[in-house]
């Protein structure tokens, strides 16, 4: 083996043809190794890149909604209520978080994220991802939070038809985790929507600001009493593959939440 190795060294060192073949082959092998190394490093950092892209996508979508509203205000005579609503939309932050546990096969599903009270997360804050809304924070510990997603029989989120003022309540009836139902759409609004139209959050609570994408209309049905429409919504969020989310932190969350609680207590007393 020693003599074989020595003969190979002499062969490649004193013969230009064999030397060029060796160098070419060695460069190809080294290049392939570097390519594998680069692919591995890119794969390792893919989760961080995906989380950052999701956060940027949410910010861009939200900023687009704000610009749209400002254009509407400039085109029309804005009332005091409209100006106050536009001011309330400022100061929204998106806190990135990672899904630790998740379920989609139960009637009342829950998921856990790796952000909690120590990070500023509070119950009834909205949670979203790069493709749509996820749910609402149910309870928190110091470093973790339980989220009640859309795929829960107790979930009820106010949503509206994008581009119109008609809104309803999004609920999940069980079954396919890719679809939910938007109830209470008035019958006189039939000319305002069609299959394929987008649905977004209405902003009628302290949980979600207006304009966050929810899904698209996939079917139009009559409600059980026949007085309104029930829209089948194909959700933008793929809960079976959910990994990265963002918790929505609104600037006036505490004030709005306290006011809503006071209003609920007064309504319950009456």
Q: Is the pLDDT of residue 41 over 90?
A: no
Q: Which of 126, 103, 108 has its CA nearest to residue 173?
A: 108
Are the C-beta atoms of residues 99 and 109 closer than 8 Å to each other? no
Which residues, 6 or more positions from 253, have their beta carbon under 8 angstroms from its beta carbon? Answer: 122, 125, 206
Query: Counting Cβ atoms within 10 Å, is residue 26 exposed (0-12), middle (13-18) or buried (19+)?
Result: exposed
Which residues, 6 or more positions from 108, have their beta carbon under 8 angstroms from its beta carbon? Answer: 152, 153, 154
Q: Is the pLDDT of residue 131 over 70?
A: yes
Instruction: Write down the domain spans for the chain.
Output: 2-44, 50-270
Mean pLDDT of 194-220: 90
Q: What per-residue confidence (pLDDT) applies to 211?
A: 85
Which residues, 6 or more positions from 163, have their beta carbon under 8 angstroms from its beta carbon? Answer: 197, 198
Q: Between these two residues, 226 and 122, which has the higher pLDDT value?
A: 122
For the domain made up of 50-270, give the CATH fold.
Answer: Thrombin, subunit H (2.40.10)
Mean pLDDT of 99-108: 91
The pair of structure tokens assigned to 125 is 């804050």
Q: Distance between CA 3 and CA 187 in Å, rounded? A: 92
Angle between helical axes of 16-44 and 2-14 (0-180°, round to 10): 100
DSSP codes of every residue in 15-82: -HHHHHHHHHHHHHHHHHHHHHHHHHHHHHTHHHHHHHHHHHHHHHHHHHHHHHHHHHHHHS---HHH
Q: Is the pLDDT of residue 87 over 70?
A: no
Helix/strand/coil for 170? strand
Q: Distance between CA 148 and CA 43 in Å, rounded? A: 31
Q: What per-residue confidence (pLDDT) applies to 82?
A: 44
Q: Between these two residues, 192 and 14, which has the higher pLDDT value?
A: 192
Q: Distance between CA 238 and CA 131 in Å, rounded? A: 8
Which residues, 6 or more positions from 232, have their beta carbon under 8 angstroms from its beta carbon? Answer: 179, 181, 217, 218, 219, 220, 221
pTM exceeds cut of 0.75: no
């Amino acid at each position: 083996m020693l003599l074989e190795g020595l003969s190979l060294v002499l062969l490649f060192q004193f013969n230009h043809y064999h030397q060029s073949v060796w160098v070419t082959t060695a460069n190809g092998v080294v290049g392939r190794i570097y390519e594998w190394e680069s692919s591995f490093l890119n794969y390792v950092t893919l989760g961080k890149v995906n989380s950052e892209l999701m956060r940027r996508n949410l910010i861009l979508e939200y900023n687009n909604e704000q610009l749209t509203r400002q254009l509407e205000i400039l085109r029309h005579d804005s009332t005091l209520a409209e100006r106050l609503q536009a001011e309330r939309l400022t100061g929204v932050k998106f806190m990135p978080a990672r899904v630790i546990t998740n379920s989609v096969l139960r009637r009342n599903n829950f998921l856990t994220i790796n952000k909690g009270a120590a990070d500023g997360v509070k119950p009834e804050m909205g949670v979203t991802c790069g493709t749509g809304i996820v749910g609402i924070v149910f309870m928190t510990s110091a470093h973790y939070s339980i989220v009640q997603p859309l795929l829960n029989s107790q979930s009820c989120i106010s949503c509206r038809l994008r581009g119109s003022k008609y809104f309803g309540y999004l609920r999940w009836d069980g079954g396919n985790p890719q679809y939910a139902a938007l109830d209470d759409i008035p019958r006189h609004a039939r000319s305002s929507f069609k299959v394929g139209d987008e649905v977004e959050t209405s902003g009628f609570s302290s949980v979600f600001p207006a304009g966050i994408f929810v899904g698209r209309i996939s079917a139009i049905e009559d409600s059980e009493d026949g007085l309104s429409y029930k829209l089948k919504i194909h959700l933008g969020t793929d809960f079976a593959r959910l990994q990265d989310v963002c918790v929505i932190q609104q600037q006036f969350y505490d004030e709005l939440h306290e006011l809503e609680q006071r209003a609920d207590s007064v309504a319950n007393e009456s």
